[in-house]
Amino acid sequence: MLNQYPRWKYIAIILTLLTALLYALPNIFGEDPAVQIAASARGITVDTETLQRVEKILTAHQLKWKKAALTDKGILVRFFDEDTQITGRDILGKTLGNGYAIALNLAPATPEWLLQLNAKPMYLGLDLRGGVYFLMEVDMRTAIKKTMQSFVSDIRSLLQKNKLKYLAVLTSGGNDLELRFKSEQQRASAHEIVKREFRQLTFSFKDNGRIFSLYGKLSEKELTDTKRFALEQNITTLRKRIDEKFNGLVEPIIQQQGDSRIIIQLPGIQDTAGAKDILGATATLEYRAKAKTDTEARQAAQTGRVPPGTELYQRRDGSPILLKKRVIVTGDHVTNAQAGIDPDTGGAMVSVRLDGYGGKRMGNFTKKNIGKVMAVVYIETRIETDTDEQGKVIKRKKTTKEVISDAVIRGHFTNRFQTTGLDSVQEANTLSLLLRAGALAAPVEIIEERTIGPSLGKANIDQGINSVILGFILVLIFMLYWYRSFGLIANIALGLNLVIIVAVLSILQATLTLPGIAGIVLTVGMAVDANVLIFERIREELRAGNSIQNSIHEGYAKALSTIADANVTTLIAAFVLFVVGTGPIKGFAVTLSIGIATSMFTAIVVSRAIVNIWYGNKKIETLSI
């Protein structure tokens, strides 16, 4: 029968449209200025007791808040205005103390029943709604120190390789190092070798009694290059961390400021505390061999005398353990890491994959040490802040090193294995994210944080949105005037197309920017173009003397290939833009791609369903088209 869908197809279309309407709905409710509180240190929990404490603090300082609730990401306190929000953040930061990540947020005011259905509003970009601004300082002293320590290690290896005796190779912590020898001849021989291998250093002599020293200093050019590398490496790593945290759907603006600072702007994300925690965190792993028995470790802890070639650590239960100084592999060699659950114990774990070099070292070690114990050391560095009696903010770096697991090596393995002993799935997720994104070249510290308004300005945004609305209305009027009843059907399909686009963006939690709106406008034009092709084909069939039912059928059938060709070529262009583009260009490509798919559905399937209901299987004398 012409112009009829089977009943199941009508039901599928209706269910699709109702689902789209449901998931597009959260975008009409707006958002509240809020403060998010999350645990940022091991052993710190955010629970009902913490929520009550937060409410008491706010009440004591006579701050009015809209709602405070415990969520899966911590505590979210909603305020009535931004001034109270910022004041609340400052007070909570000073009162709660270290161990908590406290960040400004813009929380959606979506009703709870929609959130229960996982219906959330889409993100809006910085150019449309503003977001969160972080100014970060790179610790260049640590970057230089790490470079000099690397030189010290390499020089020691070079001297040992060439069988040259030396007393010590050490660094003062600045941009210089010292090689000590017993004789002037030993120093001269070493100088010939190291100056040839390490051209980044300038060397000078100094005698101190019976010790003959060779001083190496980082050249000014190398010093500048080291700082630049640390800055560029940190920018790359921070971008990877943000992409990993938000699945690549947030379009951050990350820029260098001066020679030691980084600006990060995140469009109104809903987990600013999580982002803040990830940006400043430095966590990695070291795999080491166990050196002595637990009895010897307890003796070393009691007496303070650690055997040569070993280091004293603590397990998470507080018991001491002695490990060899030599590191088998570190987190720097990790190419991939995924959090999971250990099927044997039910505890959290991280599945680790190493690069070629790390896999080779691990393979060599495990092959020779089956039956012996290997330990995993978890290293975390954070910046803690306190306030002295004069109100001056004091910042200090705290590094935690602890053994999260030590187990007997049961077999030979190389670049793939599991790391267990983590406290929670959340810790496993955070660690795997940091390992995947790579280590920071130097620690960073958030020295300024604030919310920012839309980058284009409210007037410009209003003008842009108004122009979109005006253009949309003019298209509706034209279609209604030119194609009459069929124009009305096209307009209904066009409106549903916009609803579905918004729903898909909301489900994906993608970021909508002004270029993204341009992509939506372009798909509106393409959707209308598809209907125009169909309607003009129907008119041609009617002018050729075909019946009304046949004309409708042939109009949709014959226009389909032309519409598909046009949309597929545009989709290919959108894919190329997404692959090679960055930032706003990707946003444009995403909305354009989604719009192409939805416009094909609404312009062909939905509009055909409406036409079938309206005209199908009926005797019609004239067609309003």
Q: Is residue 233 part of a domain?
A: no
The DSSP result for 5-31, as a single string, is --HHHHHHHHHHHHHHHHHHGGGGS-E
Q: Is the model's pLDDT at 83 over the cut of 90?
A: no
Tell me, what CATH number does 202's domain have?
A: 3.30.1360
Tell me, what CATH number does 460's domain have?
A: 1.20.1640.10
> Where are the strands (E) in 479-587, listed by range?
511-512
Q: Is residue 274 part of a domain?
A: no
User: At which of 91, 108, 125 does a domain end?
Assistant: 108
Q: What is the pLDDT of residue 247?
A: 59
Q: Is residue 558 part of a domain?
A: yes
What is the strand order of the sheet 416-422 is part of? 334-341, 348-354, 416-422
Q: What is the pLDDT of residue 18?
A: 95
Q: Is the model's pLDDT at 249 over the cut of 60?
A: no
pLDDT band, residue 22 (cuts 50/70/90): very high
Q: Is residue 232 part of a domain?
A: no
Distances (CA, A) of 53 to 50, 59, 92, 384: 5, 10, 10, 21
User: Do residues 333 and 380 both lie within one domain?
Assistant: yes
User: Do residues 434 and 286 both lie within one domain?
Assistant: yes
Residues 6+ apart with CB under 8 A from 321: 290, 294, 297, 312, 313, 314, 315, 375, 403, 406
The helix-helix angle for 458-508 and 607-615 (nearest 10°) equals 80
- Beta-strand pair 511-512/123-124: parallel
pLDDT in tens, 466-517: 777 887 888 889 888 888 889 999 999 999 999 999 999 999 888 787 788 8
Q: Is the model's pLDDT at 218 over the cut of 60?
A: yes
User: Do residues 606 and 473 both lie within one domain?
Assistant: yes
User: Do residues 433 and 545 both lie within one domain?
Assistant: no
pTM for this predicted structure: 0.57
Q: What is the pLDDT of residue 572?
A: 92
Q: Residue 552, class by beta-carbon neighbours within 10 Å (0-12 exposed, 13-18 middle, 19+ buried)?
A: buried
User: Do residues 401 and 461 both lie within one domain?
Assistant: no
DSSP state of 338: E
In total, how many domains does the chain have?
4
**Cα–Cα distance for residue pair 442/40, rounded to 1 Å:** 20
**Cα–Cα distance for residue pair 325/322, rounded to 1 Å:** 9
**Cα–Cα distance for residue pair 20/572, rounded to 1 Å:** 25
Q: What is the pLDDT of residue 499?
A: 92
Of 33-47, 268-282, 523-537, the range with the lowest mean pLDDT is 268-282
Six token digits for residue 93: 């930061």
Q: Is residue 246 part of a domain?
A: no
Q: What is the pLDDT of residue 444?
A: 82
Work out the number of other CB atoms within 10 angstroms of the CB of residue 202: 15
User: At which of 58, 88, 108 does a domain end?
Assistant: 108
Q: Is residue 123 part of a domain?
A: no
pLDDT in tens, 89-123: 889 988 887 778 787 777 888 888 898 888 988 87
Radius of gyration of the chain (CA): 32
**Cα–Cα distance for residue pair 154/151, rounded to 1 Å:** 5
pLDDT in tens, 333-355: 887 888 888 777 777 888 888 88
User: Do residues 509 and 427 both lie within one domain?
Assistant: no
List, in sequence order, every residue forming a beta bridge with 78; answer none if it has no partner: 34, 67
Six token digits for residue 334: 């990790």
The DSSP result for 348-406, as a single string, is EEEEEEE-HHHHHHHHHHHHH-TTSEEEEEEEEEEEEEEE-TT--EEEEEEEEEEEEEE
| Average confidence (pLDDT) over 362-390 | 79
State which residues form the domain around 157: 141-223
- Classify 457 in phi/psi space as left (phi over 0), alpha (psi -120 to 50) or beta: left
Q: Is residue 622 part of a domain?
A: no
List, in sequence order, every residue forming a beta bridge with 402; answer none if it has no partner: 378
Give the Cα-Cα-Cα angle 50, 384, 270 (nearest 5 degrees). 55
User: Do residues 434 and 464 both lie within one domain?
Assistant: no
Six token digits for residue 313: 């650590």
Q: Is residue 450 part of a domain?
A: no
The helix-helix angle for 184-197 and 140-161 (nearest 10°) equals 120
User: Do residues 286 and 392 both lie within one domain?
Assistant: yes
User: Do residues 336 and 426 both lie within one domain?
Assistant: yes
Q: Is the model's pLDDT at 14 over the cut of 90?
A: yes
- Classify 530 in phi/psi space as left (phi over 0), alpha (psi -120 to 50) or beta: alpha
Tell me, what CATH number does 319's domain have?
A: 3.30.1360.200
Q: How far apart are the first and last CA of the chain?
A: 22
User: Do residues 392 and 473 both lie within one domain?
Assistant: no
| Average confidence (pLDDT) over 528-555 | 88
pLDDT in tens, 420-476: 777 677 777 777 777 776 667 777 888 887 766 665 556 666 776 777 788 788 888
